[in-house]
Amino acid sequence: MISKAQQILKKHYGYDNFRPHQAEIIEHVLDKKDALVLMPTGGGKSVCFQIPALLMDGTCIVISPLISLMKDQVDALKTNGIAAAFLNSTQNFSEQEEILEACNCNEIKLLYVSPEKLLTDLEVISRMAKPALFAIDEAHCISSWGHDFRPEYTKMGFLRDRFSAIPFIALTATADKVTRRDISKQLHLKDPKLFVSSFDRKNLSLDVRIGIKPKQKAEEIIDFVKERTNQSGIIYCLSRNKCEEVAEKLISAGINASYYHAGMNADDRAKTQEDFINDELQIVCATIAFGMGIDKSNVRWVIHFNMPKNMEGYYQEIGRAGRDGLPSETILYYSYADIILLNKFASEGGQAEINLEKLKRIQHYAEADSCRRKILLNYFSETLYENCGNCDVCKNPRKHFDGTTIVQKALSAIARMGEKEGAQMVIDVLRGSRRIEILEAGYEKLKTHGAGSDINSMDWQRYLMQMLNMGVLEIAYDENFVLKITPVGKDILFGKRNIELTILQAILPKEKATREKRIKTVVAPEEELFDVLRKVRRDFAMEENVPAYIIFSDATLQAMVMDKPKTAKDMLHVSGVGEHKFAKYGQTFLDAILDFLGESYLKKKKGDTYRETLLFYQEGLNPDEIAAERKISSQTVYSHLAYLYQRGNISNLDEFVSWPEVEEVKKAMSIVGKMVAMKPIFEYLNESIPYHKIRLAMAVIEKSASEKR
């Protein structure tokens, strides 16, 4: 069965090999066993249920929290040639009925629904869709221990009892040990196998900047953005007012930016999100309200203007950068003002103790003087033995010393107290305190009582935090925050491994670094070809009204730039180009590459897509007839005609678009702005002129303008 899964991976997704754990998870699900999957954002979670869905009889019901996220995922599946749909409140009764009927006929393999919709219409959905698999996406939402708790998710547990013979797969990108246990418990999963992929996103650089003043912060960010022309980025802020303030400063500096927060009306939020996803907006300044609905693979950087409230949120937010695997940057600005405010929020909200403890962990991450990636991965129970080399601490190393003896003293104290005490009690025992609680517990009799009296309490706290950060210890949040020794810690305790600690120093504001010239993702002449391919991708995206990255990701365009395929066979070997996408888009991208390279394929090559359209047009076929002959969409034919007109192969487009229509489009363009997208023009004209005529009119306007230059 796994060989069939491999064939599907190549055919629909364009990849030769599965990522770590994907094949094992698929096999496990096909054996009708429950699974809990933890994979980082961009790690390929969706494939783990999408491919089994194509190999099972019936429908995979995917429970997803956001309408916008469902739409993007369904669009991406359809673009890959996979039958999928979603049910939500934006559809009328007849549309929903049609979708369910298609499920009943086994024409739709994946059906995305919200928890509320599933609960409301469970009987009809289960009867018509014939569930073969349930996939609970963003599963951390079910746990009150999680960072993004959603009460409606807690009602999902009864599904496992109701559909006892059907496998369940729960998936999340961020869940600590406590949240993982809670997910399994709340969903009533049956002996679920836990699959944890590495949380190490090597392509993300990690940088923390301490004590930068707000004005200087804004100046740094403006300089940073101006060095990264056309790169998409997100700036996370702690408050709504700060989002608007930062966005205004960027706009005043001539940067294409906007803001997003829960205080905006729904239409404005939707427009900001859609413009960002469609590459019409470069930067969004947002609160965490700008969250799971962002399924955009080419975000090149994420900046935290303020410190996040916990590690889970921070990891998920930086995870929105570089989902295509290309090098991406993350910057966290940290100030004590943030800590004061966040402490206030944590203290006043529900689960105050837990939130305060989690806040301490992100604070210590920000203050760390050892490899940040080690700390981040350890929080998710993953140990990195070597320094990453891609964080600010690794690039500017702190000084270290052999801290094995100090660590062994602390571990010995924790072990002798039965791993059932928190940090302060451990420190007090090490320092030889004789306060009443220690005497009542008999801890003054331990060999380690007073063994660390030469180190003050504050320094012991910082040493313990280093130990936590390096994976020697972990905090059990659900056991009153007691310290536990990890397997790595046990090796150190019993002399099997030594460990270095960082020499403690005062935490000072980071000096303003001299700005290095950044290495761009694509360099000339490759940069020019990359831009050509982006324009081809944008044309398809506008025709189909989907985000550009759904056509092909930046990583796939990069692969095209590097490989420079010259034949269909070459193109099918490019990572991310599956059979379905090649049939739909591949030849056009291939022609663009050949044209760029100066080859004479446009005249010589029999299979040239533009030439074939031109030949049929010269024979007198209309666009619909050409589309039928070539087995492509009419929209694509009109796009070809526009291209051929601009190249001079066709003398005019009068039979397809009238001059009054051209004038209407021209007027709309002067009001809407840049000539980059058809949707704003379509909407401005109240949908009176269809997309294909707008595309043709834009070609006429552009050619006319170029002839006047």
- Strands 328-334 and 400-402, sheet pairing: unpaired
Q: Which residues pair with 87 in a beta bridge?
A: 113
- Of the candidates 648, 679, 647, the residue with the CA atom closest to the CA atom of residue 665: 679
Exposed/middle/buried for residue 665 (C-beta within 10 Å: 0-12, 13-18, 19+): buried
- Of the candidates 567, 504, 483, 547, the residue with the CA atom closest to the CA atom of residue 275: 547
- Quote the longest CA-to-CA distance of the chain: 99
CA 592-594-599 angle, to 5 degrees, is 140
In contact, 137 and 64? CB cutoff 8 Å: yes
Determine the residue type at 320: R
Distance CA 130, CA 103 (A): 8
**DSSP notation for 137-178:** SSGGGG-TTSTT--GGGGGGHHHHHHTTTS-EEEEES---HH
- Measured distance between the N- and C-terminal CA atoms of the chain, rounded to whole angstroms: 61
In contact, 658 and 649? CB cutoff 8 Å: no
- Of the candidates 32, 25, 335, 1, the residue with the CA atom closest to the CA atom of residue 190: 32
DSSP 8-state assignment for residue 204: E
Distance CA 230, CA 521 (A): 12
Residue with tokens 């940090």: 423
DSSP 8-state assignment for residue 391: B
User: Alpha helix locations (H) across 454-586?
Assistant: 457-469, 487-493, 526-544, 548-551, 554-563, 568-572, 579-581
pTM of the complete model:
0.65
Tokens of 56: 């099972």
pLDDT of residue 147: 53
pLDDT of residue 406: 96
Query: What are the strands of the beta sheet with 232-236, ordered from one edge?
Result: 204-210, 328-334, 299-304, 232-236, 283-286, 257-260
To the nearest 10 degrees (0 to 180), the angle between helices 352-367 and 372-379 is 160
Residues (pLDDT < 50) of the chain are 506-523, 599-607, 675
Rounded alpha-carbon distances, angstroms, from residue 558 to 242, 263, 521, 534, 575: 36, 38, 9, 10, 10
- Strands 500-502 and 400-402, sheet pairing: antiparallel
User: How many CA atoms does the CB half-sphere of 567 hold within 13 Å?
Assistant: 2
In contact, 432 and 514? CB cutoff 8 Å: no
pLDDT of residue 220: 93
**DSSP notation for 261-328:** -TTS-HHHHHHHHHHHHTTS--EEEE-TTS-TT---TTEEEEEESS--SSHHHHHHHHTTS-TTSS-E
Q: Which residues pair with 536 in a beta bridge?
A: none
Omega into 690 within 30° of 0, i.e. cis? no
Distance CA 200, CA 197 (A): 9
CB atoms within 10 A of CB 405: 11
690: CB partners within 8 A, 6+ apart: 682
DSSP 8-state assignment for residue 449: T
Exposed/middle/buried for residue 367 (C-beta within 10 Å: 0-12, 13-18, 19+): middle
Q: Which domains does the chain have, with CATH numbers?
A: 2-196 (3.40.50.300), 204-395 (3.40.50.300), 400-502 (1.10.10.10), 526-708 (1.10.150.80)
Q: Which residues pair with 204 in a beta bridge?
A: 328
Distance CA 113, CA 119 (A): 10
Q: Which residues pair with 206 in a beta bridge?
A: 330, 391
Exposed/middle/buried for residue 256 (C-beta within 10 Å: 0-12, 13-18, 19+): middle
- Of the candidates 36, 1, 3, 4, the residue with the CA atom closest to the CA atom of residue 21: 36
User: How many CA atoms does the CB half-sphere of 322 hold within 13 Å?
Assistant: 21
In contact, 104 and 128? CB cutoff 8 Å: yes
Tokens of 126: 């289960």
- 3-state percent helix, strand, coil for the chain, nearest multiple of 5: 50, 10, 35
To the nearest 10 degrees (0 to 180), the angle between helices 526-544 and 634-647 is 130
Instruction: Check the CA dihedral 478-481-482-485 and report its sign.
Output: positive
The rounded radius of gyration (Å) of the Cα atoms in the chain is 28
Distance CA 709, CA 689 (A): 28
To the nearest 10 degrees (0 to 180), the angle between helices 691-708 and 526-544 is 140
Tokens of 364: 């210590």
Distance CA 557, CA 14 (A): 13
Backbone angles phi, psi at 236, to 5 degrees: -90, 130
Determine the residue type at 444: E
- Of the candidates 297, 597, 665, the residue with the CA atom closest to the CA atom of residue 589: 597
In 358-498, beta strands by DSSP E = 400-402, 473-476, 482-485
